[in-house]
Structure 1
Amino acid sequence: MIKKQLIMEKALELIAKQGFEATTVQQITDYCGISKGAFYLSFKSKDELILALIDHFMMQFISDIDQIVRSTQDENLLYEFYYSIYDSFQKHSDFAKVLMKEQTSSLNEQLIIKLQHYDRLLEVTILSMVERLYGDQVQESKYDLMFCIKAFMNTYSHLFLFYNIPVDLHLLAQSLVEKTDLLAKQTSTPFITKEMIQILPATHDQQDDTVEQIKLLIKQKIAEMDESIEKESLILLKEQLEQQTYSRAIIKGLLENIRNQPHCKWIAYLLYSYYHF
């Protein structure tokens, strides 16, 4: 296992027990069985490690949810959306638990900004799902509905993250689909407006993930990968960013080749957004 990955996995186990603030670099190195020098070859500080952990988890989470929204048929979309979210929370409960606690207690500005960034990306995906499913029916209330969906995600996750109550994910997803449909169809007094959304802390979108930044991510990933159809697709996608020669159909096919490869999901997410698929 790559040392950086080992440090992240072992540190997460420790942080899940103690929290971010209470965990020291010395404790992390002792728990990993490495020297401080070895730690600092991978991370400049504990804060950098924490931000890397958040990136690792949230990039997977956001790209997985976005893929579900893009690829699931309308009649199953809400169910698959809710089920996949709680399934992910269960599989990564240690980190999800720490993340939710830190959002309410952290004074680290970098951490807060990063969490706000991923929260806004999630909002973009939820809003696209709401608009697709309900169209003009929620034109005035879509932002309220988006916030209600986020509230469902947060509140119901407490049942198994903090109270250890056995949860039937199938029943939970069905129940939340019913509640969301009722809100979408019955809400008559919207509160949150587009203007209010625009006042919220800004996050960078696909325009801020510049071509050069995406090309650098692709270049780094190509260097790490063995020969495969995913690697060849990344090479062609990088060429497309440089030369703009392929049709949208070819680009979409190349993205389909990489989107299920765990280490390429974030690149696929950025490119899907960049090309407005």
Structure 2
Amino acid sequence: MAKKQLIMEKALELFAKQGFEATSVQQITDHCGISKGAFYLSFKSKDELIVALIDHFMRQFTTDIDLVVSEEGDEDLLYNFYYTTFQSFNKHSDFAKLLMKEPTQSFNEELFSKLHHYNKSLEKVILSMIERLYGERSNDLKYDLLFCIKGFMSTYSELFMIYKLPIDMESLVRSLVEKTNLLAKNMTISFISNELIQVIDQPLNEEPSLEKIIEIVEKNIEDIEDSIEKESLLLLRQELSEPTLHPAIVKGLLANIQNHPHCKWTAYLLRGHFVMK
């Protein structure tokens, strides 16, 4: 076995027992039966080792899912998607359980960004599946359905990965296919809007730029009919470019839009912008 692979496998055993933070490089080298010098020839630090493990697991998992979505016919696509998901979790169960248990606060910015990157890649694959299966009727609800599917993947995997319950995979997958189809065909209220997704997709720890906020406001102005909310948005759009209004007036304009279903997130962003300014 190559030394790098040995370190990854043995380190994973310790991480699974103790967590990332509580496991030291010395413990890893002792568990591998190698010197620290040999460890640092393979990895510059423990964090680099963790990144390598995340890369290995998430590449395998994302590739497995992407292959199914790319090559399966529509008839069995959703079934095979869920089946492959849980099979992949089982295949890499030690690391999957570790990621589920490990608090994200213990990850540094690089590790958290790495997980975020793979999460967005997985979301892209799931969205392509949703669009294939449900066509135009999914346009306004696809992001809500995306989050429902991700919730199913995470929550139901806990049954056999954390609680170690004996699971009939066939029944589990068929039940999730039924639930997903029911949601896709019967949902009528969209919560996760295109504007919210645009903000979520921004780099981590980065506040939306003024240009991005203006873009979101202008999209709202286009999308809603003449109303007090639209008039308020027009005034707020002007205020973003040429601030002249008293803070009390701005507060009142925000109150006008904050309960409109398409403007709630815009109101949140504007509130943050005007407070920080």
Q: TM-score, normalised by structure 1?
A: 0.71
- 1:139 is matched with 139
Aligned partner letter, 1:30: D
- 1:81 is matched with 81
- What is the SS of the residue equivalent to 1:86? helix
- What is the SS of the residue equivalent to 1:22? coil
Q: Evaluate the alpha carbon distance shift between residue 102 and residue 202 of structure 1 in structure 2; reply closer, same or farther with a 3 A threshold.
A: farther
Question: Which region of structure 1 is more displaced relative to structure 2, 189-198 or 176-185?
Answer: 189-198
- 1:129 is matched with 129
Unaligned runs of 5+ in 1: 204-277
Following superposition, the deviation at residue 102 of structure 1 comes to 2.4
What is the CA–CA distance in structure 1 between the aligned matches of 2:40 and 2:104, rounded to whole Å? 29
What is the CA–CA distance in structure 1 between the aligned matches of 2:154 and 2:25, rounded to whole Å? 30
What is the CA–CA distance in structure 2 between the aligned matches of 1:45 and 1:75, rounded to whole Å? 47
- 2:155 is matched with 155
Paired residues in the alignment total: 204
Unaligned runs of 5+ in 2: 204-277
What is the CA–CA distance in structure 1 between the aligned matches of 2:162 and 2:64, rounded to whole Å? 24
- 2:267 is matched with none
What is the CA–CA distance in structure 1 between the aligned matches of 2:43 and 2:25, rounded to whole Å? 10
Q: Evaluate the alpha carbon distance shift between residue 128 and residue 103 of structure 1 in structure 2; reply closer, same or farther with a 3 A threshold.
A: farther
- 2:50 is matched with 50
Q: How does 1:1-277 map to 2 (within 5 A)?
A: 1-202=1-202
Deviation digits for residues 4-58 of structure 1, max 9, x if unmatched?
A: 1111111111111111011100000000010000000000000000000000110
Question: Which region of structure 1 is more displaced relative to structure 2, 188-197 or 94-103?
Answer: 94-103
- What is the SS of the residue equivalent to 1:39? helix
Q: Evaluate the alpha carbon distance shift between residue 12 and residue 99 of structure 1 in structure 2; reply closer, same or farther with a 3 A threshold.
A: same
8 A contact 1:106–1:112 mirrored in 2: no
8 A contact 2:64–2:88 mirrored in 1: no
- What is the SS of the residue equivalent to 1:163? coil
What is the CA–CA distance in structure 2 between the aligned matches of 1:5 and 1:149, rounded to whole Å? 33
Aligned-residue CA RMSD (Å): 1.4
What is the CA–CA distance in structure 1 between the aligned matches of 2:118 and 2:88, rounded to whole Å? 16
4+ residue segments displaced more than 6 Å: none
8 A contact 2:62–2:121 mirrored in 1: yes
- Structure with more relative contact order (C-alpha pairs < 8 Å, separation 6 or more): 1
Deviation digits for residues 69-107 of structure 1, max 9, x if unmatched?
A: 000010100000001111111121110011112254424
- What is the SS of the residue equivalent to 2:188? coil
- What is the SS of the residue equivalent to 1:21? coil
8 A contact 1:140–1:190 mirrored in 2: yes
- Percent identical pairs in the alignment equals 66
